[in-house]
Amino acid sequence: PRLILATRNAHKTEEIRQILGHRFEITDVRSFPGLPEIEETGSTFVENARLKALGISSLMGGWVLADDSGLEVDALDGAPGVWSSSFGGEEGNHAKNNQRLIEEMSGVDGRTARFQCTLVLAKDGKEQGVFSGSVEGTIGRELSGSGGFGYDPLFIPAGHTQTLAQLGPTIKNTLSHRARALKAMVDAIENQSIN
Ligand code: ITT
C-alpha cells in the first residue's frame, strides 16, 4: 500500500523508508507541492503529530503518517522537547540547535536525555492509531560523527560509547525512538487492530 508521510524533513522520510520500506510505498508531502504547511501549535508530541496527520489526511485519501519527535534533556527540565527543531533560534537549523545545546550543557554533570517519537496514523481524514517510542542516552560535550541529522552528533544512546551520528544508520534504525514507534505501529497492523 501507499503511505504518505506528513513531513517535510527528508531525514525522517529516509529513516522511515529504511525501516518500513519493504512494506509500503513511501512518499512525503514534498511530492505534493499544493499542500499547505501545517502549523504545529500543540504543546505535546501527540498534539502536533495529530495536527500534521489529520491536516494532511483531510486533504488526501489513503494512509497518512505523521512523526513528531524531539529531545528531552533532564538537566534542562525536558527542553528542547517539542521545540527541538527551533531551539537555536531558527527553525530547522541543526547547527544552531546543537550549538545552543552544547552551551546550555557546558559544566553540567548530569547529562541524561531521551529522544521521543510519536506517530499518528490516519486514513481518509480519520485517526487510526497513535504509537510512541523513546531511546535513553546522554548528551556529549562536543559534536561527534557525521551520520544522521539533528542532535545525533550529541546523543550517545545508553549502552554505547559513540553518538548516533557515529554509530550510523544501521544501528540507529534498530534502537532509535523512531524505529521503536514504527515497530509498535507494525505490530498493531499485524495484529489487525488496524486495517
Ligand atoms: P516535520 O514537522 O515536517 O515532520 P521537523 O523536523 O520540523 O519536520 P519536528 O517538529 O517533529 O519535525 O521536530 C523534530 C526535531 O527533533 C528535529 O528537527 C530534530 O531537531 C529533533 N529530532 C527528532 N528526531 C531526531 C533524530 O532521530 N535525530 C536527531 N534529532 C532528532
- Spell out the domain ranges in the chain: 2-190
pLDDT band at 22 (very low <50, low <70, confident <90, very high): confident
Model confidence pLDDT, tens digit, residues 78-98: 999 999 999 999 999 999 999
Q: How far away, in angstroms, is 80 Cα from ligand 1 center?
A: 11
**Residue 70 Cα: closest atom of ligand 1:** 16
Instruction: State whether ipTM is beyond 0.85.
Output: yes
27: DSSP letter = E
Which whole number is the average pLDDT over 62-69? 97
CA distance 73 to 5: 27
Model confidence pLDDT, tens digit, residues 142-193: 999 999 999 999 999 999 999 999 999 999 999 999 999 999 999 999 998 7
- pLDDT of 4 higher than 80: yes
- Annotated binding residue at 181? no
- Which of 170, 173, 135 minimizes the C-alpha distance to 155? 135
CATH number of 2-190: 3.90.950.10
Determine whether 47 is exposed, middle or buried from the number of CB atoms within 10 Å of its CB (0-12, 13-18, 19+).
middle
- Which of 3, 2, 20 minimizes the C-alpha distance to 183? 20
Taking CA atoms only, the protein residue closest to ligand 1 atom 30 is 150
How many CB atoms within 10 Å of residue 156? 20
The set of cell numbers assigned to 90 is 531558527
Answer whether 116 contacts ligand 1 (Cβ < 6 A): no
Taking CA atoms only, the protein residue closest to ligand 1 atom 6 is 9
Q: Which of 28, 67, 68, 77 is catalytic?
A: 68
**Residue 5 Cα: closest atom of ligand 1:** 4
For residues 31 and 10, the answer to whether their CB atoms sit within 8 Å is: no
Is 68 an annotated catalytic residue?
yes
Answer whether 148 contacts ligand 1 (Cβ < 6 A): yes
Q: Taking all residues of the chain, what is their mean pLDDT, rounded to a whole number? A: 97
- pLDDT of 140 higher than 80: yes
Percent of the chain past pLDDT 70, that is, above it, reads 99
